């Protein structure tokens, strides 16, 4: 009898490391070498998924080179620059690890944090452990101060208390990344998306941060506007995406009824007491506007319902567990 060693299926790893990059050619070789060092010395089974988000420099050739020397590396390249969210989403679909780590390519996030992040998520049974750049080496005015404001607002709106929601370095349970869809600029709000998907065990770990060694930041001032608009969509879609009439119908009815009440009051005042012309009262206009806006909100609710009825994921729910069912 020959005892074969227990072979793990090839598609199975402890860790998937996901790295989206856009024009980071100088950093990539250093980053990969550093990752290899840390992951091998801790005996992890792993894959590294590098996503080229439409780089116009030599990044893709660099990655192809690295890949040919290292069988842990897998790579995806976009035809054009779609954004960090798109890059992450593509890798989330492809990854096969039990836990998934995302990190930036610019060497600002340290691979040395990986063993502790892994330790924390496995022993604490968390869904997400998010990095927190407690001591941050970025420009105070363009990055650090806006980031504080942004974290406070997002925390208030979403009920998730993280100091650094948008930190690129995070570890997830595989199921989390398989259950969410990230697009636009939504990579800033992955913990919020995860919470809406039912993954609420979210915590943070202070992580080391470094100043950018090569290249420049890829995010400018537009991130404020886009970032907050995306937060609004996430909050809305998360809460009412599957039942738009519940918000539009409610507010449409309330506003319409206020308008109707104003008109009834004005009509009684005029015809019963003959006090004045209806149009002499400013209230008249408030009445008209309320009725118009109320009707429009209601219509928006109907349209929303029609759209969500046609959407392919109208009946998609995250199932936590199944017993006796395929």
Q: Which residues bind ligand UDP (CB under 6 A)?
A: 20-22, 24, 53, 81, 83-84, 87, 104-106, 108, 168, 217-219
**Residue nearer to ligand UDP on the CB measure, 47 or 53:** 53
**Residue nearer to ligand UDP on the CB measure, 21 or 196:** 21
Cβ 212 to Mg ion shortest distance, Å? 6
Cβ 264 to Mg ion shortest distance, Å? 60
Q: Is 106 in the site for Mg ion (CB under 5 A)?
A: yes
Q: Which residue is nearest to ligand UDP (CB)?
A: 217
User: What are the residues facing 75 on neighbouring strands?
Assistant: 50
Q: Is 179 in the site for Mg ion (CB under 5 A)?
A: no
SS3 21: strand
Cβ 198 to Mg ion shortest distance, Å? 30
Mark 213-244 as b/e (b = at least 16 C-beta within 10 Å): eebeebbeeebeebbeebbeebbeebebbbeb
Q: Is 164 in the site for Mg ion (CB under 5 A)?
A: no
Q: Report the phi/psi class of residue 270: left, alpha or beta, with left for phi > 0 and alpha for psi in -120 to 50.
A: alpha
Q: Answer positive or negative: Cα dihedral of 314, 318, 322, 325.
A: positive
Say if CB 21 and CB 49 are below 8 A apart.
no
- The listed partner (ligand UDP, Mg ion, none) that binds 63, CB under 5 to 8 Å by sort, is none
Angstrom distance (rounded) from CA 322 to CA 117: 29
**Residue nearer to Mg ion on the CB measure, 186 or 262:** 186
Angstrom distance (rounded) from CA 296 to CA 276: 30
- The listed partner (Mg ion, ligand UDP, none) that binds 22, CB under 5 to 8 Å by sort, is ligand UDP
Say if CB 298 and CB 256 are below 8 A apart.
yes
First-to-last C-alpha distance (Å) of the chain: 34
Chain residues 108-137 in contact with Mg ion, contact rule CB under 5 A: 108
Piece in contact with Mg ion (CB under 5 A), picked from 29-37, 66-74, 107-115, 273-281: 107-115
**Residue nearer to ligand UDP on the CB measure, 22 or 298:** 22
Angstrom distance (rounded) from CA 94 to CA 100: 11
Residue ranges of alpha helices (H) inside 114-173 are 114-124, 145-158
Cβ 60 to ligand UDP shortest distance, Å? 12
**Residue nearer to ligand UDP on the CB measure, 53 or 164:** 53
- The listed partner (ligand UDP, Mg ion, none) that binds 90, CB under 5 to 8 Å by sort, is none
Say if CB 103 and CB 17 are below 8 A apart.
yes
**Residue nearer to ligand UDP on the CB measure, 91 or 297:** 91
Report the interface residues with Mg ion, using CB under 5 A. Answer: 104, 106, 108
């Amino acid at each position: 009898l020959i005892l074969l060693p227990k072979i793990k299926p090839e598609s199975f790893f402890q860790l998937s490391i996901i790295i989206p990059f856009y024009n980071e050619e100088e950093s990539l070789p250093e980053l990969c070498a550093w990752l290899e060092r840390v992951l091998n010395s801790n005996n992890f089974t792993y894959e590294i998924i590098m996503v080229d988000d439409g780089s116009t420099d030599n990044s893709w050739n660099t990655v192809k080179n690295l890949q040919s020397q290292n069988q842990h590396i897998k790579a995806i390249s976009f035809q054009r620059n779609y954004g960090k969210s798109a890059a992450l989403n593509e890798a989330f679909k492809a990854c096969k690890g039990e836990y998934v780590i995302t990190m930036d390519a610019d060497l600002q996030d340290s691979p040395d944090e990986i063993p502790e992040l892994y330790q924390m998520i496995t022993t604490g049974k968390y869904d997400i452990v998010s990095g927190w750049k407690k001591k941050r080496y970025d420009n105070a005015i363009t990055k650090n101060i806006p980031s504080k404001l942004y974290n406070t607002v997002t925390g208030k709106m979403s009920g998730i208390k993280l100091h650094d929601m948008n930190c690129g370095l995070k570890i997830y349970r595989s199921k989390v990344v398989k259950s969410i869809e990230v697009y636009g600029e939504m990579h800033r709000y992955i913990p919020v998306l995860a919470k809406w998907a039912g993954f609420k065990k979210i915590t943070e770990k202070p992580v080391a941060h470094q100043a950018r060694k090569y290249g420049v930041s890829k995010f400018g001032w537009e991130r404020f506007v886009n970032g907050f608009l995306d937060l609004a969509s996430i909050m809305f879609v998360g809460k009412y995406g599957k039942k738009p009439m519940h918000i539009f119908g409610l507010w449409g009815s309330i506003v319409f009824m206020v308008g109707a009440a104003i008109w009834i009051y004005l009509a009684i005042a005029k015809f019963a007491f003959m006090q004045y012309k209806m149009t002499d009262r400013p209230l008249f206009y408030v009445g008209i506007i309320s009725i118009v806006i109320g009707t429009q909100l209601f219509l928006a609710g109907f349209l929303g319902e029609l759209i969500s009825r046609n959407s392919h994921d109208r009946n998609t729910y995250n199932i936590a567990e199944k017993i006796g069912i395929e």
